[in-house]
Structure 1
Amino acid sequence: MNSRRRIVLLAGAGILAALAGIVAHFPARLALAWFAPPGVVAWGVEGSVWEGRAAGIIVRGHGLGALSWDAQPAGLLTLQPAWRLDLRTADGFVSGRFATSLLGNRQRIDDLEGALELASLPPALVPDGVAGQARIGLQTLLLESGWPAAVTGRATVAGLELPGVILALGPFEFVFPEHDGTPVGAIRSLGGPLEVDGQIELPGSGQWRFSAELAPGENPPRELVDGLRFVGEDLGNGRRRLEMSSEP
């Protein structure tokens, strides 16, 4: 290696080290004040961008809980800084490794684990009137422009309450196997008054398709059996096919 190339490499390494040092010691309180998305407020902030915590995170007036973070330095070499995030809510937790690309609107979450009440999430994530207990175990969640472009793992929801539905449903299991192309997941009931066997597809940004066969499950109340008669297509023997999509 000639001396000029060695000098360039050493200078580049020195600049990267200096930038890493600045980032490591940059106060988290200032970073959140300057760069937090609209509608996101934090209080009780301690530490730096590299490692720290916030006693409370509020999203559009909805309190989420306490958040702590710890940087993963290897991502800086590929311009994809990453942090280990741990959110503690009043009734559960969510944790995972979050990485974002500095070259595009793309984020990746690995080893996403969580257990929480759906009603504790802001309306931007869960519509008003929806409640239930969720458990999450995703190996990979890739977001492009805020929409899932790849999903691998599973989640369950129990005691699902929906607007206009007079009884809690579930438990249900959502399974997204490793898959080339856009995400496709299976949805199955694990018991309860409503039997569900279907799938959900996410073909593109803002687009989704849902299809499933529905039938009375374990000890269904008369109201559910009667209500199913008005849902989707009749398949006989009390079974119905329901198809929905984001397209009009």
Structure 2
Amino acid sequence: MKIFKWFLGLLVLAGLVLGFILWTLPADVAYRHFADKLGPVSLVGIRGTVWNGHADGISVFGRDLGELDWRVEKWPLLTQGIRADLRIRGADIDTSGLLERDYSGVMRANDVRFRVPASLFAGAVDVPSLKLLGQVSGTLTQVQLKDGLVAMANGHARWSDAGVSGAAEARFSDILAEFATRPDSSMAGTLADDGKGNLEVNGSFSASATGFQAEAFLSARNDDARVQEALRYIGEAQPDGSAHLVISGQLFKLL
């Protein structure tokens, strides 16, 4: 009986020690053991714990995004779940939101706010001499990932200080986008200008695991000469002086 009590006591002590180690596990130690499971994500300058920490640098597919801060709640782990607040801040990137993963492996993100340079989307336009100016900001109200694919998402975005430079340069009014998933899990949205500038935009777009497609009609409001000149290098010219822009491609080209 005494042997059994000693053995039980050792098990309790081992559990307490293991729990303490996990409770205070340094983030850099955990990263060394699990870095190979993060795929294209790489971290440097890690400090803090796995529950509350900071990385001086985070990169995805070799692209430097800035600094990463995280705070992970401990109690959801009791039901094999994860709940974490994340924030990435860089010179021209700022994004934050709440990430959750339940016991079944389904991941959800709520109220993800982002701000990125418009140049990040240059690969989609596929006009080598054209540079996109300004910032794109917005909110992903809800995102759900299942088996690595987007099962549900909705939100909105605004292209502020919008403009292009290259063979011609012009500044536009802000461009607005609204988007949401469809029953087949693909995403669809609309594009429009805010009506305050000299570029009129009417368009739509869709995206799925196989790629994205977008179509828009662009025209110069108030017969703005600089906008008309810029539209000569964008899309297909129309008889009324507008431009019909159609683009498609793979989402990974945006990374």
Structure 1 and Structure 2 fold alike (TM over 0.5): yes
Mind listing any 5+ residue stretches in structure 1 that lack a counterpart? 1-15
Letter in 2 for 1:117: P
Tell me if structure 2 keeps the 8 A contact 1:147–1:206. no
* CA gap 1:242/1:114 in 2 versus in 1, 3 angstroms: closer
Aligned equivalent of 1:210 = 214
Structure of higher CA gyration radius: 2
Aligned equivalent of 1:27 = 26
- Per the TM alignment, residue 160 of structure 1 is displaced from its structure 2 partner at its CA by 4.2
Q: Percent identity?
A: 26
Aligned equivalent of 1:13 = none
1:173 is the counterpart of 2:165: no
1:110 is the counterpart of 2:114: no
Tell me if structure 1 keeps the 8 A contact 2:232–2:243. no
Letter in 2 for 1:223: E
Tell me if structure 2 keeps the 8 A contact 1:89–1:116. no
Mind listing any 5+ residue stretches in structure 2 that lack a counterpart? 1-14, 251-255
Tell me if structure 2 keeps the 8 A contact 1:193–1:220. no
Higher RCO by CA contacts (8 Å cutoff, separation 6 or greater): 2
Number of residue-to-residue matches in the alignment:
226
Letter in 2 for 1:151: A
Aligned equivalent of 1:195 = 200
Q: 1:114 aligns to what SS in structure 2?
A: strand
Aligned equivalent of 1:70 = 71
- Per the TM alignment, residue 66 of structure 1 is displaced from its structure 2 partner at its CA by 1.8
Aligned equivalent of 1:6 = none
* CA gap 1:22/1:207 in 2 versus in 1, 3 angstroms: farther
Tell me if structure 2 keeps the 8 A contact 1:23–1:50. no
* CA gap 1:130/1:97 in 2 versus in 1, 3 angstroms: same
- Per the TM alignment, residue 99 of structure 1 is displaced from its structure 2 partner at its CA by 2.6
* CA gap 1:241/1:32 in 2 versus in 1, 3 angstroms: same
Aligned equivalent of 2:8 = none
> Could you tell me how far apart the structure 2 residues matched to 1:126 and 1:23 are?
47
Which TM-score applies when normalising by structure 1?
Answer: 0.70
- Per the TM alignment, residue 101 of structure 1 is displaced from its structure 2 partner at its CA by 5.6
Q: 1:224 aligns to what SS in structure 2?
A: helix
